Structure 1
Amino acid sequence: MAQGQFWTETSSGFTANLTGLSKFHVVDANVAWAIAYDGVNTSNNIQQFSKTDDAGLTWTAGAFDLGDLDLGIADVSAVDTNTAFVAAYPRQVGQQGGIWKTVDAGATWAQQTGAAFNNAASFPNVVHYFDANNGLAIGDPANGYWEIYTSNDGGDTYSRIPSSSLPAPLNNEFGYLSQFAYSGDSIWFTTSAGRMVHSSNRGVTWNVYQSPLTDFGGTAIFGDISFATASRGVIQSNTGSIFKTTDAGQTWNNVVFSGIGAPYGGAIAYISGTFHMVSAGGEANFAGSSYSLDDGITWINIDTDQHVDSAFFNETVGYSGSFSDVINNLGVFRYTDTVLSETLVTETSEVRLFHNNQTEQLEILSGLQFERVRIYDLQGRLITTSKSNNISTYQLQSGVYIAQIFTDSGPITSRFIKQ
């Protein structure tokens, strides 16, 4: 499969060198916001962001003017190029974090006092707006239950979700900064106990599931999550292991992957509604990026540059964080390839599978004499048998399938994806 230039790096807009950019919120095909951090000394607190409104061609830096320079920046969620919300957390005893909103592209920020976060244990981690009016502010447990606020009027007012609608936190369990995923009306956030707290209805009710990890943000073990649909998601651990779910996180299966690349241990990002995903790593000894077109089974390496985040709006628009270089005008990666839009082609030395998702046809090409094919799902159940090498997949649900192809030289097994 031909590959062009997957990433093109451009200036992130910061005037100081080695300013990192991460925690992207990609609003639409043109607009994205992201949070800055000090790439030399991560303990230094900086309240800056950068945003684009031309699909990543140019980025403009700005400041979170919150009235307290010591507040840490947890997360950003934007509605458009002018309107965005930021969650800030206390870094010192006696500070109060909360949610702030801008309506003038970040020039000024106003605190939304309805999301109180005024308990001594209050610690905001996530802010996410599903649209201009409906959003959630998610924090650590306070007064014995998760501190989560919901708004349906663009943040003018908030209501705390009652403990009766939330799963009880474990002893000393807490969440992590901007570590969450969403798909449609569904949202998940991760915890220090390796659990995922999930709502399928914009925060009205919640469930909790145990993941394969013991901690999503520990010093030895940590991970990232992404969901392609309301039910199909992935976990990537810091060691590059991949786990998948098809039931919104209730159960997980380890993925045995192969290919000419491998996933990295930093960020993982599905392209929404597809089986395509991009992995990125920013650790000095585990840096790079790679992609998969078959739901994490096969990986192709892209580079070995440091990538501190990865986020995609669709198969043509996506970004990854880097570090500012004022002299060379660098600091943010923009996706500039076409590979994520291509139909998956699976090849062996004897047979080639081509699945056209538009016509819902699987074509089997081989220099060997074709006899018949059996198609199985990943649970090993026989789905169909055909003596034609051009098979309709109209009746198949979206997913990964195994084709056992019988030829005059014996059977050959390969995978394909129906999207």
Structure 2
Amino acid sequence: MAAGAAGAAVLAALAVPVAEARPGERTGAGPASAHWAVKDPGTPQVRFRGLAAVDRRTVWLAGTGGTVLRTTDAGASWRNVSPPGAADLQFRDVTAFDARRAVVLAIGEGEASRIYRTDDGGETWTESFRNTDPRAFYDCLAFFDRRHGLAVSDPVDGGFRVLSTADGGRSWRVLSPAGMPPALDGEAGFAASGQCLVTSGPRDVWLATGGGARARVLHSADRGLTWTAADTPVPAGDPAKGVFALAFRDRAHGLAVGGDYRSDQPSPRSAAVTADGGRTWRPAAAPPPAYRSGAAWLPRSRTTALAVGPTGTDVTTDGGRSWRTVDTGSHDTVSCTPDLSCWAAGERGRVARLER
């Protein structure tokens, strides 16, 4: 399919805003509409902020209560593959390489921040990292390929702390802070969707921040050794405000979404775009109407992307310059795969796949 055609086909069906569906139902304007089809995993007590869609049939979820789920039949059934002894942990991010190999991140202060890896579909897990610094709080992880990846903590000693792996998450080391710009007062990352740290290609990685006087995006072109920082127009200046998620379709073109996560507060200028790898950011002319915590480019599209949050899903068809709400269901994170599949997940165990 030509570049953009897949996104255009989905957008054509997402023509009418829709309401939230109950588990087992679907949302949409009619039989020809694209809709979030809920794939109920039977875990209403869990909030899923970690989502790794491998393909149309294989998806990994990571959430509260130390929960990790996996499906290999497009959500028809889900298997609980949670690491043993992890019930007190809060998993917020997961990277999956295929149906058998995955890495999950637990967030929190001190030893609550941990990383686990499985090579057998969750039958067994190895704890490959446990944070021992009470000042550190890890938010997100991201991989460049099956071997090389990073995880990031909120600032320690005045700068964001970065972990690196070169063996697929089996071992980790703290990178030198020398290449990291100073953090702003109050600046931090948001462990809201597993998308505060994202990669594109073999070496480029971006980190989203908030909480400080300005919402920034930090960029590294050498796998986290050195970083530069750029201001965004997304409002900050409060611990609840900033950029919550990033999505890059290549090393130049990216999206930033966020706002104020408090439900009683407005979120103006909740999205921004870049065309120069994050060196400069400009506000979306018509941003989503409320806080958004997750974003993803539609497969094979240069202009179409989705943004999700507790109050709905928005779509852009012009590369992030303008957004339109197409669904009012609650999701925290979204992920699309090369074989034209998009998934979303969030509170009350909600998991859904975009279908036509």
2:284 corresponds to 1:255: yes
Change (3 A) 1:264 1:214: closer
Aligned to 1:184: 201
Aligned to 2:319: 295
Aligned to 1:53: 72
How many Å separate the matches in 2 of 1:172 and 1:216?
8
Q: Which amino acid aligns with 1:181?
A: V
SS in structure 1 of the partner of residue 178 of structure 2: helix
Give how far 1:48 is off. Answer: 0.8
For residues 340-419 of structure 1, the aligned pairs below 5 Å read none
2:134 corresponds to 1:120: yes
Contact in 2 for aligned 1:211/1:249 (Cα 8 Å): no
Contact in 1 for aligned 2:306/2:315 (Cα 8 Å): yes
SS in structure 2 of the partner of residue 175 of structure 1: coil
For residues 2-401 of structure 1, the aligned pairs below 5 Å read 2-3=12-13, 4-14=32-42, 16-17=43-44, 19-37=46-64, 46-54=65-73, 56-65=74-83, 67-90=85-108, 95-113=111-129, 117-177=131-191, 178=194, 179-185=196-202, 186-191=204-209, 192-193=211-212, 194-215=215-236, 218-219=239-240, 223-238=244-259, 239=267, 241=269, 242-257=271-286, 264-266=290-292, 267-271=294-298, 274-282=302-310, 287-314=311-338, 316-322=340-346, 331-337=350-356
How many Å separate the matches in 2 of 1:211 and 1:299?
18
Higher relative contact order (CA 8 A, sep 6+): 2
Change (3 A) 1:170 1:290: closer
Residue ranges of structure 2 left out of the alignment (5+ in a row)? 1-10, 14-31, 260-266
TM-score by length of 1: 0.66
Q: Which amino acid aligns with 1:319?
A: W
Q: Which amino acid aligns with 1:230?
A: R
Change (3 A) 1:130 1:297: closer
SS in structure 1 of the partner of residue 234 of structure 2: coil
Give how far 1:315 is off. Answer: 7.3
Change (3 A) 1:51 1:240: farther
Contact in 2 for aligned 1:7/1:333 (Cα 8 Å): no
Change (3 A) 1:291 1:96: closer
Q: Which amino acid aligns with 2:208?
A: T
SS in structure 2 of the partner of residue 226 of structure 1: strand
Give how far 1:34 is off. Answer: 2.0
Give how far 1:277 is off. Answer: 0.9
Report Cα offsets for 1:362-419 as digits up to 9, x if no partner: xxxxxxxxxxxxxxxxxxxxxxxxxxxxxxxxxxxxxxxxxxxxxxxxxxxxxxxxxx
Residue ranges of structure 1 left out of the alignment (5+ in a row)? 38-45, 326-330, 338-419
Give how far 1:63 is off. Answer: 4.7
Give how far 1:101 is off. Answer: 0.9
Q: CA RMSD in A?
A: 2.9
How many Å separate the matches in 2 of 1:216 and 1:35?
30
SS in structure 2 of the partner of residue 164 of structure 1: helix
Give the structure with higher Rg (CA).
Answer: 1
Report Cα offsets for 1:42-66 as digits up to 9, x if no partner: xxxx111222334x34341425325
Q: Which amino acid aligns with 1:278?
A: L
SS in structure 2 of the partner of residue 141 of structure 1: strand
Contact in 1 for aligned 2:141/2:197 (Cα 8 Å): no
How many Å separate the matches in 1 of 2:56 and 2:284?
31
SS in structure 1 of the partner of residue 69 of structure 2: strand
Change (3 A) 1:229 1:59: farther
How many Å separate the matches in 2 of 1:251 and 1:99?
33
Give how far 1:319 is off. Answer: 0.8
Give how far 1:68 is off. Answer: 4.8
Give how far 1:77 is off. Answer: 1.2
Contact in 1 for aligned 2:297/2:304 (Cα 8 Å): yes
Give how far 1:84 is off. Answer: 1.0
How many Å separate the matches in 1 of 2:216 and 2:59?
29
Report Cα offsets for 1:259-293 as digits up to 9, x if no partner: xxx565323322266111112231xxxx2223222
Contact in 2 for aligned 1:269/1:310 (Cα 8 Å): yes
Identity between Structure 1 and Structure 2 (%): 23
SS in structure 1 of the partner of residue 171 of structure 2: coil
